[in-house]
Amino acid sequence: MASKTLSSFLLQNLTELREQGLYNTIDPLESPNGPVIRMKGREFVNLSSNNYLGLATDKRLVDAAVQATIRFGVGSGAVRTINGTLTLHVELEEKLAAFKGTEAAVAFQSGFNCNMAAISAVMGAGDAILSDELNHASIIDGCRLTKAKVIRYGHSDMADLRAKAKEARESGAFEKIMVITDGVFSMDGDIAKLPEIVDIAEAYDLITYVDDAHGSGVLGGGAGTVKHFGLSDRIDFQIGTLSKAVGVVGGYVAGTQEVVDWLKARSRPFLFSTSLPPGTVAACIAAIDIMQGSKELQERLWENAAYLQKGLKALGFSTGHTATPITPCLIGDEEKTQRFSARLYEEGIYAKAIVFPTVPKGTGRVRNMPTAEHTTEMLDRALAAYEKVGRELGMIR
Ligand SMILES: *Cc1c(COP(=O)(O)O)cnc(C)c1O
């Protein structure tokens, strides 16, 4: 018997969501998450995955996962600190550190988990965290796990960050102060102003923390946003995910040996949650080897992104201020954005509408995620659909 208070809570809230058209129905894929996907028996050009380099279906990763699974089994059997650390985990962490250009790295079960792990391992009562207002949900939750005071600053507003950093430091109220930012912001595709953030951090003795989930594998020859700006030895915490460009699942924190030693001693997901399975780790190692061996996939990704962005602009759409392959097509009105995305779906293009409250009111957009695997023909199909639907809805002429 369900509790009465739970039943009425669920009924009321689910009804509300459905009435507002905010209840998300999920269509399962009947295919791999490649550049073309199959759902409900139909094929779509896929512009919604984070599989930037196409590695999620790469045969070299699949083979590595299969071989490691045959050799070591499907599970690691324990948390890292008991005996769930395989030599494979150590190898992955050494490769990640070399790839990022840091002294050390430590792997976690997801990018989300990295933020659960790392922020609360160093920040606590008497500390303050300066956080960009558009930071990812996992950063917000990671901050909530601490007793530190969280101070939000305007999105990439460096004057605001400087003023709040100065005020926090000069108040004398806080011992440690951290500044946290996404490396690449996933809704607009803009890049954090890391050179200025580092200058401000050095002026006010801030700990620097960059969650580079969308930058890793994409910017800086694949090493990420921090490398892109040449700041590898001036950022304390670099978070990366193994589930976007790397194509598998997991996350990591890269930094000095001391940072990593401390996370291995104190971060809760490392201590209390079973480590990544052997097949996953082996696939991630293969992905890092591929990214270090050749820039071909990154080049194709950027070429495809440039092609799509140029095509959308030529049709008369705005892609906002993206500086990365993330390609928003700005529509504005929430309802119109939903309708636009639904019409693209009917035309065989899978690109998600992103609206309030995920982005500010009136800035609805259809977000496109081109990958290295898309062909020009696929992108042309998408652009033709954008043209047709854009005309239909009176957005372009
Ligand atoms: C996607 C994302 C995450 C979560 O990464 P997962 O590996 O999918 O858990 C964390 N932070 C940011 C900024 C992200 O974009």
**Is residue 213 in contact with ligand 1, taking CB distance under 6 Å?**
yes
For the entire predicted model, the pTM comes to 0.96
d(CA 162, CA 196): 9
Closest-CA residue to 238 (of 266, 205, 216): 216
Q: How far is the CA of 183 from the centre of ligand 1 (A)?
A: 11
Specify the residue with its C-alpha closest to ligand 1, atom 7.
111
Q: Considering 214, 228, 352, 374, which one is annotated as catalytic?
A: 214
CB atoms within 10 A of CB 91: 15
Q: The CATH number of 57-293 is which of 1.10.3720.10, 3.40.640.10, 1.10.10.60, 3.30.70.270?
A: 3.40.640.10
Catalytic annotation present for 76: no
Q: Considering 89, 244, 352, 374, which one is annotated as catalytic?
A: 244
142 φ, ψ (degrees, to nearest 5) = -60, -40
The CATH code for residues 22-51+295-392 is 3.90.1150.10
**Is residue 215 in contact with ligand 1, taking CB distance under 6 Å?**
no
DSSP character for 222?
G
**Is residue 212 in contact with ligand 1, taking CB distance under 6 Å?**
no
For ligand 1, mutation pick of 52, 138, 216 (most atoms within 8 Å of CB): 138
**Is residue 251 in contact with ligand 1, taking CB distance under 6 Å?**
yes
Region for residue 102 given its phi and psi (left: phi exceeds 0; alpha: psi -120 to 50; beta: otherwise): beta
What pLDDT tens digit does each residue of the chain (397 aa) get? Answer: 689 999 999 999 999 988 877 777 888 999 999 999 999 999 999 999 999 999 999 999 999 999 999 999 999 999 999 999 999 999 999 999 999 999 999 999 999 999 999 999 999 999 999 999 999 999 999 999 999 999 999 999 999 999 999 999 999 999 999 999 999 999 999 999 999 999 999 999 999 999 999 999 999 989 999 999 999 989 999 999 999 999 999 999 999 999 999 999 999 999 999 999 999 999 999 999 999 999 999 999 999 999 999 999 999 999 999 999 999 999 999 999 999 999 999 999 999 999 888 888 899 999 999 999 999 999 999 999 999 999 999 999 8
For ligand 1, mutation pick of 115, 134, 136, 139 (most atoms within 8 Å of CB): 136
d(CA 289, CA 139): 29
> For residue 256, what are the contacts with CB-CB under 8 A and spacing of at least 6?
102, 103, 104, 236
CB atoms within 10 A of CB 327: 25
**Is residue 132 in contact with ligand 1, taking CB distance under 6 Å?**
no
**Is residue 138 in contact with ligand 1, taking CB distance under 6 Å?**
yes
Region for residue 260 given its phi and psi (left: phi exceeds 0; alpha: psi -120 to 50; beta: otherwise): alpha
Specify the residue with its C-alpha closest to ligand 1, atom 2.
213
List every span in the chain annotated with CATH 3.90.1150.10: 22-51+295-392
Closest-CA residue to 181 (of 121, 228, 134): 134
Q: How far is the CA of 166 from the centre of ligand 1 (A)?
A: 30
**Is residue 110 in contact with ligand 1, taking CB distance under 6 Å?**
yes
CB atoms within 10 A of CB 64: 22
Cross-strand partners of 274: 79
231 φ, ψ (degrees, to nearest 5) = -115, 20
Catalytic annotation present for 186: yes
Whether 291 contacts 53, CB under 8 Å? yes
Catalytic annotation present for 321: no
**Is residue 214 in contact with ligand 1, taking CB distance under 6 Å?**
yes
Q: How far is the CA of 19 from the centre of ligand 1 (A)?
A: 30
Q: Which structure tokens are listed for 338?
A: 């939903």
CB atoms within 10 A of CB 29: 15
Atom of ligand 1 nearest to the CA of 214: 15
**Is residue 111 in contact with ligand 1, taking CB distance under 6 Å?**
yes
Give the pLDDT of residue 1.
67
Specify the residue with its C-alpha closest to ligand 1, atom 6.
111
**Is residue 309 in contact with ligand 1, taking CB distance under 6 Å?**
no
Whether 368 contacts 327, CB under 8 Å? yes
Atom of ligand 1 nearest to the CA of 251: 7
d(CA 314, CA 297): 26
List every span in the chain annotated with CATH 3.40.640.10: 57-293
Amino acid 282 reads A
Atom of ligand 1 nearest to the CA of 135: 13
Q: Considering 49, 131, 156, 186, which one is annotated as catalytic?
A: 186
